[in-house]
Structures are given as C-alpha cells and as structure tokens.
Amino acid sequence: MRGTVKKMVSERNCGTEDGTLQYYLPLDQLLLPMNQYIGRHLSIRASERITCVACGKSSNKSFNQGYCFRCFQKLAACDLCIMKPETCHHHLGTCREPAWGDSHCMIPHVVYLANSTGLKVGITRETQIPTRWVDQGAVAALPVFRVRTRRLSGLIEAAMAAHVADKTKWQALVKGEVSEVDLVAERERLLPLISDTLAQLETEFPGAVERLDAEPLRLQYPVTTFATKAKSLSPEKEEASGVLTGIKGQYLIFDTGVLNVRKYTGHEWEVTPT
C-alpha cells in the first residue's frame, strides 16, 4: 500500500464498551484502518517524494508539517500567530490571508483543560472538538470557555499558562506515563487566578467570553503495550518496522520505537503488513 500521508483520522468506536478510538491512516484516497494491524508486524518506508499539502507541488523538504517553502512563507496557516494565538493580528488588517482568517480565526474557539501527560491548557476551534484532544493524546479533556475569536482564546490561554503547562511531553505520552487529574477541581482552582484577565476582556469585548459548565470527556486509545523507550523511528532514513502495539495521539507505537505520523504529512509512504 503506497500513497501520500496525512495525519491520522479517528472516530469513537461505538462497537466497544469503552468507545475505544478507531484510527485510519490516509494514503492518498485510501483510509487504512490501523486498529486491525495492532499485534501484527508492519514495515513503513518513505520515498523521496514530498507533496505540499497546500499547493500540491513537489518539494525537496517539508516545512511546518507538510508545506513547501513558498507556502510556508506566504500562507496565514503558517504564521507565528498560529502557534501563539494571542498575537493574532487579523483585527489590525495585517493578516496574510484575510479570508482564511475570517473562516479559521474569527470564529468561536474553546479554551480547555486536558490531561495528556499531566494537566495542560489549550485552545481549539469549536468545530475541532474532540479531534484536537485526540491528536494530543488526551485521556480526558474539559471545555472551560467558549469565545468569539482565536485571539481571545489565546489571551485566556496565556493567562492560564502562567499557572499550568501548555505543552505535552511526547516521551511520556508514548510511554503511557499519565496520572489521574481532577479537571473540574483544576478549573475551579484556576478561575480565580485569571479573574483580572477575564474582567479586562469583558470590559473590552462585552459578551465575547462564555464560561462553560461542562463535564470532562474521557478518551480510550487502542494500545496493548506502551513504548518502553521513547525512540523515534525515521522512515525517510531507514525502514521503520516492528510489531504495532498501539496508537495514541498521532503516534504509531511499535515494539522497536514510535513514529509521529503528523511529522510526515505530505511524504509518500509504502506500508507493508506481514
């Protein structure tokens, strides 16, 4: 099976008691159901072919998870404010692609707490729930605020990040090192700590921030055995092969190491089960 890779897609498997996630690996138009290969030997080899996910042209190197250098430089999706949403400058009229900003940034976003490798704060477009949490390998997630724009979500996230992490430790993720976190209790602990920020935003943007009274969503991943060592496999350097023991976030977990699928967006892969 050969094709250009994109990040894995997932769905909650209603056929299992705990709703274990079902993963699919896109290879061009093929969606390869990956859960069925857990416990089997897989070989993955990358060719030298890389296709830009934006313009579709061939590229010698991939930037920012799938873009050619030209698109990386010009597209709003690759701007610094995507990583630091509080610096969004759409309202200043300086967005690289105002129409793209209208459809991706000037829409409702959610600020959330999650437990991936411990407590973290994050943001996502409302339409990306629960996809964002799955991609991060969260075992539980709790929406805390719904806001009008990406910039507002970033300002709240930055305030909360002064008191809690905003990053996931990938090594702990693939090794299954996660402790139980009471997300509701953490929400109540954090709210008074960011009261000044919330008050300021309400003054500047009346009604733009809505506090949510939700319950945590729990997610179950198809993993039989976690990685014993966080060794990254690199199929563009040498064939990545081994027994697939699980999938979590965007990682394929083998008995020989782990493979971050999203890192290779736009690369051509050949996947061979044995």
- Which tens digits make up the pLDDT trace of 81-107? 999 999 999 999 999 999 999 999 999
Percent of the chain with pLDDT over 70: 99
Do both 204 and 99 map to the same domain?
yes
Mean pLDDT, the chain, integer: 95
Where do we find the tokens 């092969």? 241
55 alpha carbon, distance to own chain's centre = 22
Whether 107 and 21 share a structural domain: no
Q: Distance between terminal CA atoms of the chain? A: 12
Residue 227: inside a domain: yes
| Residue range(s) defining the domain that contains residue 269 | 2-62+221-273
> Is there a single domain that holds both residue 83 and residue 213?
yes
Q: Would you state the pLDDT for residue 14?
A: 61
Counting as low any pLDDT under 70, the low residues of the chain are 14-17
177-193 b/e (C-beta count within 10 Å ≥ 16 → b): ebeebebeebbeebeee
Domain end marker among 189, 218, 247: 218
208 and 231 within one domain:
no
Question: Is residue 67 included in any domain, yes or no?
Answer: no
User: Do residues 168 and 225 both lie within one domain?
Assistant: no
Residue 124's DSSP bridge partners are 110
| 86 and 169 both lie in a single domain | yes
Of 175, 164, 74, nearest in space to 122 by CA: 164
**Same domain, yes or no: 83 and 214:** yes
CB 156 within 8 A of CB 190: no
How many structural domains comprise the chain?
Answer: 2
Contact indicator for 236, 224 with CB cutoff of 8 Å: no
Could you say which of 218, 241, 263 is where a domain stops? 218
15 and 107 in one domain? no
**250 and 167 together in one domain:** no
Examine residue 250 and state whether it is found in any structural domain, yes or no.
yes
123 and 184 co-located in one domain: yes
Predicted pLDDT at 17: 66
Question: Does 74 reside within a domain?
Answer: no
163 within domain boundaries: yes
d(CA 118, CA 216): 15
**Do residues 207 and 144 touch, judged by C-beta distance below 8 A?**
no
55: which DSSP letter? T
Q: Are residues 239 and 115 in the same domain?
A: no
Domain presence at residue 70: no
Q: Per the domain annotation, does 72 fall within a domain? A: no
Backbone angles phi, psi at 217, to 5 degrees: -100, 130
Q: What CA–CA distance (Å, rounded) separates 5 from 265? A: 5
Same domain, 111 and 212: yes
Residue 73 falls inside a structural domain: no
Which of 191, 218, 245 terminates a domain? The answer is 218
